Amino acid sequence: MFSQERNFTSWQLTGFGDAPAFIFQTIDSTHKLMKAKALAGEIQPGTLFVADAQSDGHGRHERTWDSPAGKNLYFNILIPLDGIPPNRFAQITQITALTFAEVFAPLQQGAQSEPSEKVTVKWPNDILFGKSKFCGILAEVVYTRRRSPNKSGMTMQQDAPRPALNMGIGINVNSDPEDYAHIGRAVTTLKAIAGHPINREKLLQTLIGNLERAIGQFKAFGISPWISAWRKMDKFIGARGTIVVNNHCTDQNRNSGEGSIKKTGRILDMQPDGSLLFQCDDGKIETVISADLEI
């Protein structure tokens, strides 16, 4: 992954299976465009969108995701949900984070860093090096409609809507940590971790291929095979943290806690369904299915 990178417009990519990949030199948001195209029935599940730069990139809760040109990866994959029960849809983001972390981990071997720093996944799906974030995942279920010819083959009809997961990923690859000083929270990049620039095309090819295989395994076996891997990788279990529930915080109000409920305590474990077991300071033990975790 340390070879010289080709021009962005020459990248050779595919989505899942035979689905196409579309590349955009500049776009407002791959996530917004994929949602619109999916709802209109204009793209099929498995499709990949990749941008070299975004003017309106966002993470969870509309938090800004800086998207400079020619440095990082900004992409969306429309994941088919056929054969996956709705109560397991949210687990796909956790599977994605763990799958990607396994790709990133070997890059840290040449890094000059503290022994305690390593690539890890912070529940539910943030990927960090030490306590500095470099990869974020945003996902929402959309219902796609595909147009197909009727039995006579003369006219087109719309198939029944089918769920798919519009998953957006932002990865700080070849930018520098200093580029994010204005954000006000710990951020790093793969180049800083590895000590070398990364070939973004090859990295993305690896990530998409590994994710497609992981989704196939998830359909067959559920999240169970990943729980033990999570416990080995996640150094946050046993540590103190803050659960932010019903979080509507933005970049502007996240420190004030406006629009959210915060509970401090200790992280006990990951449960077999991917939820977090959390002991609040008042002694109450809660199962947390959806929230932000602050360490």
- Distance (Å, rounded) from C-alpha 56 to C-alpha 170? 12
- Distance (Å, rounded) from C-alpha 200 to C-alpha 6? 9
User: Is the torsion defined by CA of 83, 99, 133, 67 positive or negative?
Assistant: negative
Lookup result for tokens 């040109």? 69
The answer to whether 60 and 136 are in contact (CB under 8 A) is: yes
- The percent of residues in the chain predicted with pLDDT above 70, rounded, is 83
Comparing 22-36, 38-52, 70-84, 249-263, the range with the smallest average pLDDT is 249-263
Q: What is the mean pLDDT of the chain?
A: 86
pLDDT for position 56: 62
- Distance (Å, rounded) from C-alpha 256 to C-alpha 266? 21
More confident residue, 25 or 247: 25
DSSP 110-135: G----TT--EEEETTTEEEETTEEEE
- Distance (Å, rounded) from C-alpha 26 to C-alpha 50? 10
Comparing 142-151, 181-190, 284-293, the range with the smallest average pLDDT is 142-151
Question: pLDDT tens for residues 199-226?
Answer: 999 999 999 999 999 999 999 999 998 8
Would you say residue 149 has pLDDT above 70? no
- Of 12, 83, 8, the closest CA to residue 45 belongs to 83
Comparing 134-143, 154-163, 173-182, the range with the smallest average pLDDT is 154-163
pLDDT for position 237: 81
pLDDT for position 61: 46
Domains delineated in the chain: 8-230 (3.30.930.10), 236-294 (2.30.30.100)
Which letter does DSSP use for residue 159 in this model? P
Would you say residue 246 has pLDDT above 80? no
More confident residue, 92 or 260: 92
Q: How many CA atoms lie within 13 A of 176 on its CB side?
A: 2
Would you say residue 156 has pLDDT above 90? no
Under the banding of pLDDT at 50, 70 and 90, the label for residue 134 is very high
